[in-house]
Structure 1
Amino acid sequence: MHYTRFQASRARFALTPVAFVAAALLPLATRAQEQPEAAPQLKPSPVLRENIPADVRPQLPTFVEGDAIRGQTDVQTEVQGNAVLRKGDTIIRADKLEYNTPKDLATATGNVHINKAGTIYEGPFLELEVDAFHGFFNEPRYHFLRNDAYGEAERVDFEDDKHSIIHRATYTTCQRRPGPDWMPDWILKADKITLDDDTDTGVATGAVLSFFRVPILGLPAMSFPLTDQRKSGVLPPTIGLDNKSGVEVTVPYYWNIAPNRDATIYPTLMSKRGVDLGGEFRYLEPSYNGIFRGDILPNDKLRDMDRWGYTYQHTQSFAPAGGALGGGALALNLNRVSDDNYWRDFSRNSSVLTQRLLAADGTLSWGIGDLSVFAREQKWQTLQDATAPILPPYDRSPQVQARYVKNSLPAGFESTIEADTTRFTRTLDPIAQTAFAATPESLQPNGQRTYGLLQLSRPWQAPGWFFVPKAQVHAAHYDLDATSTANGRTEDRVIPTFSLDGGLVFERNTSYFGRAFLQTLEPRAFYTYTPFRDQTNLPNYDSALNDFNFATIWTENAFGGNDRISDGNLLTLGATSRLLDPDTGAEAAKFGIAQRVRFKDQLVTLPGGTPVSERLSDLLFGVSANLVPSWSVDSTVEYNPKTNRSIRSTIGARYSPKNYHVITAAYRLNRIAPGSEQMDVGWQWPLNDLWGDKGQELGPGRGEGEGRWYSVGRMNYDMQAKKLVDAVVGLEYDAGCWIGRVVVERLQAGTTQANKRVLFQIEFVGLSRLGSNALQSLKENIPRYQFLREQVLPPSRFSNYD
């Protein structure tokens, strides 16, 4: 054998394919003569990818360097002193390194350091097949890139670049501190930890979790995520304290069935009620998706009955091949519970199931060109409370509707034709029969309503103005199950409506507060006329008075639904002014005012209502502003000029100067009987700011540094009743590698009852969470709440690049 010994102070050697070596040995002068000089160009390289493809990895060159190198080309290389081997995303450093080229085997001894795509191992001895990443490492220390975890072990066996086994291992995300007596706040010790990068999971056997040197959890086997990816397994138990159900212990099991479907089973032991068996199933396909949640509580000890509830949502789209016949969709929304008290007893179940009106709704729709049709079946379950009864809405069983919209008629006309037939049915429960016995709505019969709507308009618009005349004809026919009108069981109605809508847009450049803006002034006028048609003999199945706001003041009908068409001779006048960023067009502020003038009394009312005679409506004022990123204000005021007072007011503001700093406040006043006045405040704010510790700006999902306390909460206060309605108040402590949370929750459940619970949770960052699900409560109740730990972007291997 022939060896060449390098005695230079630092030597570098590249083991490359023969063709590459031959090209490299060509004299530079010769190549310069053969090829004209060209401008340098950047070329993509697989070496710079986050994940190097398996078929590319063997083709990459291997570089070695050190104080002294000896070896035989393409056979064996030995490096002494400050040895380094690089190949792709793998870097090995050691005091001594031997590399066998045919076997692609590296053997390193003394202060061995290996960086594999950002994950680092250090120890005394390594033997590794570099491309296959198969081998072992004795007595390593390691640092995982993806979850910033650390640990030590007796030995690591690398099966390939995605799988490894760590023997007699420790695992923690606590950053090491100086000093020989340092111990991490929490540490997981295990006989063996198996890491699977394909599924992003770790499995520890013979595991013991210690918190401040106190063992708190010992398991023969436990799995934990290496990232935020989903994985099957038993999730950490949650423990809660509820004033009604007592101590609640839930042990969930998550089943990752496939990338597009999963299931969670969450049995819950309630000390005062029994065992509640709950579950959730989700699926996602290219043309349909859905979710099912349900639970059953056999023999609830507090109610002495079986309790259950379920919710199911499914959406699906379909179209025949070629699309010549259009496309269709199916939507299902099914919700049912066992009894009237479910909404107050289980206020933390699905938010849909804790409402008092539960829909079972199915809709099949189809569209082709300008024509759309749908068929619908809708039935309601009303959860009654004797102290606050509800008049149940009508079921639609069934409803069929067709709609034709044509926006490209000759001469610029646009038209809409709508036809609908619906069967309305309702059966009153005993509580509703007693509470609403004398009201007109409870006495009207079930029936079939068929209506048609024809609408024709001709819009004119240009950059500085618009004008839209519109004509409508609304016709309806009723077939009732019992005689309730002068015409017996049938009734007909035909009502025309005419409207004119027009406005101008003025613009100017201006500046406020030292900032340039494009300001607009947009006056608008809307006139509508509908003649009076007596509708007192008609039933009211789905009409209600529209809320008075900036959207409805510019519409023809004062009612929603199709049973009442309001008569009117009205003129609405208003103006809007906006402040726009001249560079981006973003809206920095908006100001609006509108008022409606009535030229004659409105005689059409809802059953039991009185005619409207005021000639001038209340004034509407609206302001929304976001002049600086940290502040936003949104306010709407309905002002009565006769009484010189506001009838309804909503004022909301948000202050958020940076991440994890947000305060929201809203004031709502309604003087319309029965009236209400409420104040709502929500916040997330570091308490350390109070004593001058401003923290670090680390970005979303990373908190503000270790040792920081955060106050979180939301409170809704009834100022008329002078009592707290709902409240969620808590504290979070970020210790860096673990986060502690305690949350006190009070949610109103009826006029005289409230559900209260206390939630405790410890989050071991990079491992798991133990305790109650406090995070869910904070996310659902606090506006703009941010998780202290949430991976926004996966870490790059170049962040730990050697």
Structure 2
Amino acid sequence: MKLRWRGFPLPPMVLLSLLMLRSHSASAQDDAWTEAPITLRRTPELIETIPPAERGTRPSIVDGDRLSGRPDLEVTVEGNASLRRGDTRITADRLEYRPPADTATATGNVHLNQAGNVYEGPELRLKVESFEGFFDHVRYTLLANGGHGEAERIDFVDPKVSVARHVTYTTCLRENRPGWMPDWMLSAVTMTTDSDTNLATATDAQITFLGVTTPSIPSVTFPLSNARQSGLLPPVIGFDTTNGFEYLQPYYWNIAPNRDLTLYPELMTSRGINVGTEFRYLEKNYSGQIRIDEMPSDSLRDRNRWGLWAKHDQKLDPKPFGLDSLSTSFNINRVSDDDYWRDFSHSPTLTSRTLTNEVDLNWSKGDWSGQARTLSYQTLQYAASPITPSYNRVPQITANYNKYDLHGFDVSGTLDYSRFEIDSAYSPTLNGIKQPNGERMVGNLQISRPWVTPGGYVIPKLLLHTASYQLDSPLASGATSISSVVPTVSLDSGLVFERDTSLFGSAWRQTLEPRAFYVRTPYRDQSQLPVYDTAANDISFATLYTENAFSGNDRISDTNTLTTGVTTRLIDPVTGAESARFGIAQRFRFSDQNVTLPGGTAVTDRSGDFILGGQVHWNPKWSIDGLAQYNMDTGKSTRDALTLRYTPAPYHTLTAAFRYQADSSTTANDGTKTVDFNWQWPLSELTRGLFGERKPGDPGRWYAVGRLSYSLHDRAMSDSLIGAEYNACCWVGRVVLERLVSGRTSPDTRLMFQIQFNGFGNIGSNPTSTLLQNIQGYKPLNTQTEEPSRFTNYD
């Protein structure tokens, strides 16, 4: 927004009103930390223009009931008069056109359409080609954003620029009823519009919202379309129980179609001033963004605070050594201290306490591919909720080979070298001593011979895993190097049966798909091997049909198991869409599993847990997802999850979920049980009469939004939010109260409030990103659409 004070002091109330107005495109992100950013383009947008050499050569087409005049000098049209040239058309009761001066005078029910912008009134005088002239007592509608209003007079400077005098402006839909007034309206002495810059500038302006009018504003600039513009973005205003009152005022600099920069100065009354800067770039072979935050003095923590976030991706060309592809990238995430994630609610670190820092180089050539990278983590520790850091890989070098249908065989192999390091304070214990840092070389080879037919498949596979370690200090056995070689054979097989059936009055194609998966891996003592990147797999349909019970490369489970299962699906025979799927699977063990992680015990159960799951998407409105893990020995469930979702229409979504996870450290029926509800729904449909019915032609509607997550075990609410939205067609109001509990000693509460004037500006803190993250199926009200074509209002 551009402010012009004309030398007079500005009252505080007017200043606050001005700062809350929007001066950027309607697609600009209001919460820059979490919402999708403004789109960068590699080349400028294509804009339809008429070359200057062709201007004046376009024909004028005149039409009407009665024509009179002198050829090439003047023509007068009466009754249904019309003049068209290019993208300009004039209709009126009477029209006079003089070709030598290229001037048109129209009177009586004048209608002017210029490239989709419509003007109506009693009298128009216009030089047609240069589009210079004036229109008295005019009613107008702009194509780009649907903005409309009335003016005593509009002066057309050229096809791009016009000046309206004593003008009103709004984006509320005009209603043909006596006494109608829009919910919000801008009134100004003058309003200059420029389609080249897509900006309108109003002077001596006042804004009326629901009958309340602001004091006079000397000058305000606002966008006419979704095009990117330099200027102030809507401020983010809120209150946080830790930071106090928060005021964030972004400034956006549209450097070029493929570059931009945004400044984020933020005032927090309990801390001080934080300044953020984000630069983004997009080129043919590379792109990225860099974000830096700096708070010189945090009065609450009494120290300097900073954050750095940077991403870069690049394709390297020309490619050496005849490579098919060569690319590099880096991803840097660093902050000044462990408390950063809790103290700065707009920070990217809010979603994670393990910050990744990675630089890699990727290549491919034929059946070969590889990567060289360094990967390290900054772990934000918190005494009330500590977490175990991951090992840094400095560096990791990998080469992969994949060859399919090599004389009927599929062959793949991987070679991986990694250097693992971690702070000794966080080193895990291995056989009674601190696990040392070290280097690991891994080789994996797989050879399979698939036999696949439409009715079934058989896939035998041979796997060989080798690992060699060189350690910085001795193990408990005194060795500084150790290695292992583990072979595996597996046999995967399945059948597919189909039949046509009828259920609930509809025709379906039903499948029955039994599957058997056998794995044999001999026992190899791996208890002395370090554990750098390995964890036990959770039991699921995916992991039951894998050869190794662990993820990573430090442990290969000794296995003599058979997994059997069956899946049935219901498929629409016309569209091929899957409407329902149900499955059951169980693993049978023929010998004990003796390879474990440090501190683990041998797995001796002969019959593993049953896994039952199902997904039903009977129609676009309803969906049900369920999963259960049942232990045959104890007769109890160890994990249950059920999600029910109802989405009958846009802006109507209800989701209910129940989750249970047994505590593996005890045999009692303990564990975590949570119930989760989230919703977006019109309040008038939930409580008819309380908020009023929606009448024909009335765009207003209240919506309830929120998420409530309750722990049955702790008998307490976890992270939750609740709020309301109001959609008045040309403006949207939102108020959301968020309460964060996870990872905190005391809850942190944040209030977010926003009024969005469509096509004009915003007030407050935008909670849209928070709602998108917490409510499944949430759809923002008045979602921005692409700009209309000039043929939308074609006459």
The answer to whether the superposition gives a TM-score over 0.5 is yes
1:676 and 2:672 aligned: yes
- Which deviations, in whole Å up to 9, do the C-alpha atoms of 1:582-631 show, x marking residues without a partner? 11211111111111011100000001111100111101111011111100
Offset of residue 472 of structure 1:
0.9
| Alpha-carbon distance between aligned partners in 2 of 1:371 and 1:706, rounded to the nearest angstrom | 59
- Number of the residue aligned with 2:231: 233
Offset of residue 694 of structure 1:
7.3
1:422 and 2:418 aligned: yes
Aligned partner (choices 459, 472, 479) of residue 470 of structure 2:
479
1:57 to 1:656, Cα distance in 2 relative to 1, 3 A: farther
Q: TM-score, normalization: structure 2?
A: 0.89
1:714 match: secondary structure: strand
Offset of residue 130 of structure 1:
2.6
1:705 to 1:592, Cα distance in 2 relative to 1, 3 A: farther
Aligned partner (choices 158, 161, 170) of residue 159 of structure 2:
161
Aligned partner (choices 708, 712, 732) of residue 705 of structure 2:
712
- Number of the residue aligned with 2:13: none
- Number of the residue aligned with 2:388: 391
Aligned partner (choices 734, 742, 756) of residue 763 of structure 1:
756
- Which deviations, in whole Å up to 9, do the C-alpha atoms of 1:490-538 show, x marking residues without a partner? 1010110110011111111111111111111111111111111111111
| Alpha-carbon distance between aligned partners in 1 of 2:440 and 2:693, rounded to the nearest angstrom | 65
1:71 to 1:313, Cα distance in 2 relative to 1, 3 A: same
Kept after mapping to 2: 8 A contact 1:319/1:326: no
Kept after mapping to 2: 8 A contact 1:498/1:529: yes
Offset of residue 749 of structure 1:
4.6
Offset of residue 760 of structure 1:
1.3
- Which deviations, in whole Å up to 9, do the C-alpha atoms of 1:220-241 show, x marking residues without a partner? 4333222223211112222101
- Number of the residue aligned with 1:73: 71
Quick one: which amino acid aligns to residue 366 of structure 1? W
Quick one: which amino acid aligns to residue 722 of structure 1? R
1:778 match: secondary structure: helix
Kept after mapping to 2: 8 A contact 1:743/1:774: yes
| Alpha-carbon distance between aligned partners in 2 of 1:472 and 1:270, rounded to the nearest angstrom | 58
Aligned partner (choices 495, 508, 512) of residue 521 of structure 1:
512
| Alpha-carbon distance between aligned partners in 1 of 2:162 and 2:319, rounded to the nearest angstrom | 48
Aligned partner (choices 293, 296, 299) of residue 298 of structure 1:
296
1:614 and 2:610 aligned: no
Offset of residue 678 of structure 1:
1.3
Where relative contact order (Cα < 8 A, 6+ residues apart) is larger, the structure is 2
1:663 and 2:660 aligned: no
- Number of the residue aligned with 1:355: 352
Q: How do 1:453-468 residues align onto structure 2 when only pairs under 5 Å count?
A: 453-468=444-459
Kept after mapping to 2: 8 A contact 1:236/1:770: yes
2:597 match: secondary structure: coil
- Which deviations, in whole Å up to 9, do the C-alpha atoms of 1:218-266 show, x marking residues without a partner? 6443332222232111122221011111111111111111112222111
Structure 2: where are the runs of 5+ without partners?
1-45, 666-670
Q: How do 1:284-433 residues align onto structure 2 when only pairs under 5 Å count?
A: 284-320=282-318, 324-350=322-348, 352-410=349-407, 412-429=408-425, 432=426
1:549 and 2:540 aligned: yes
Q: How do 1:11-90 residues align onto structure 2 when only pairs under 5 Å count?
A: 61-90=59-88
1:730 and 2:723 aligned: yes
1:589 to 1:369, Cα distance in 2 relative to 1, 3 A: same
1:767 to 1:440, Cα distance in 2 relative to 1, 3 A: farther
Q: How do 1:453-602 residues align onto structure 2 when only pairs under 5 Å count?
A: 453-486=444-477, 488-602=479-593
| Alpha-carbon distance between aligned partners in 1 of 2:190 and 2:329, rounded to the nearest angstrom | 49
1:206 to 1:328, Cα distance in 2 relative to 1, 3 A: farther
Quick one: percent identity of the two aligned structures?
A: 49
1:140 match: secondary structure: strand
| Alpha-carbon distance between aligned partners in 2 of 1:512 and 1:695, rounded to the nearest angstrom | 38
2:770 match: secondary structure: helix
1:344 match: secondary structure: helix
Alpha carbon RMSD of aligned pairs, Å? 2.5
| Alpha-carbon distance between aligned partners in 1 of 2:223 and 2:319, rounded to the nearest angstrom | 43
| Alpha-carbon distance between aligned partners in 2 of 1:133 and 1:768, rounded to the nearest angstrom | 30
1:145 to 1:217, Cα distance in 2 relative to 1, 3 A: farther
1:651 and 2:637 aligned: no
- Which deviations, in whole Å up to 9, do the C-alpha atoms of 1:456-481 show, x marking residues without a partner? 11111011111111101111111000
1:635 and 2:626 aligned: yes
- Number of the residue aligned with 2:714: 721
Quick one: which amino acid aligns to residue 466 of structure 1? Y
Structure 1: where are the runs of 5+ without partners?
1-48, 698-703
Aligned partner (choices 167, 186, 189) of residue 187 of structure 2:
189
1:157 to 1:563, Cα distance in 2 relative to 1, 3 A: same
| Alpha-carbon distance between aligned partners in 1 of 2:238 and 2:138, rounded to the nearest angstrom | 40
Kept after mapping to 2: 8 A contact 1:342/1:354: no
Offset of residue 306 of structure 1:
1.2
Aligned residues: 741
| Alpha-carbon distance between aligned partners in 2 of 1:794 and 1:596, rounded to the nearest angstrom | 56
1:139 match: secondary structure: strand
| Alpha-carbon distance between aligned partners in 2 of 1:270 and 1:66, rounded to the nearest angstrom | 67
| Alpha-carbon distance between aligned partners in 2 of 1:235 and 1:540, rounded to the nearest angstrom | 49
1:551 match: secondary structure: helix
1:687 and 2:644 aligned: no
1:279 to 1:780, Cα distance in 2 relative to 1, 3 A: farther
1:157 to 1:619, Cα distance in 2 relative to 1, 3 A: same
| Alpha-carbon distance between aligned partners in 2 of 1:450 and 1:441, rounded to the nearest angstrom | 25
1:216 to 1:743, Cα distance in 2 relative to 1, 3 A: farther
Kept after mapping to 1: 8 A contact 2:694/2:700: no
Aligned partner (choices 747, 771, 776) of residue 783 of structure 1:
776
1:687 to 1:765, Cα distance in 2 relative to 1, 3 A: same
Quick one: which amino acid aligns to residue 298 of structure 2? D
| Alpha-carbon distance between aligned partners in 1 of 2:472 and 2:227, rounded to the nearest angstrom | 57
Offset of residue 102 of structure 1:
4.1
Offset of residue 735 of structure 1:
2.2
1:76 to 1:428, Cα distance in 2 relative to 1, 3 A: farther
- Which deviations, in whole Å up to 9, do the C-alpha atoms of 1:57-109 show, x marking residues without a partner? 86655333334321223432112344222334432122321112344322223
Quick one: which amino acid aligns to residue 743 of structure 1? V
- Which deviations, in whole Å up to 9, do the C-alpha atoms of 1:526-557 show, x marking residues without a partner? 11111111111111001001111111110000
- Number of the residue aligned with 1:603: 594
Q: How do 1:170-185 residues align onto structure 2 when only pairs under 5 Å count?
A: 170-177=168-175, 182-185=180-183
Offset of residue 487 of structure 1:
5.6
| Alpha-carbon distance between aligned partners in 1 of 2:292 and 2:432, rounded to the nearest angstrom | 34
| Alpha-carbon distance between aligned partners in 2 of 1:441 and 1:312, rounded to the nearest angstrom | 40
| Alpha-carbon distance between aligned partners in 1 of 2:599 and 2:71, rounded to the nearest angstrom | 101
| Alpha-carbon distance between aligned partners in 2 of 1:655 and 1:442, rounded to the nearest angstrom | 54
Offset of residue 331 of structure 1:
2.2
1:779 match: secondary structure: helix
Quick one: which amino acid aligns to residue 683 of structure 1? W
1:739 and 2:732 aligned: yes
- Which deviations, in whole Å up to 9, do the C-alpha atoms of 1:93-129 show, x marking residues without a partner? 2232111234432222333221223321122332223
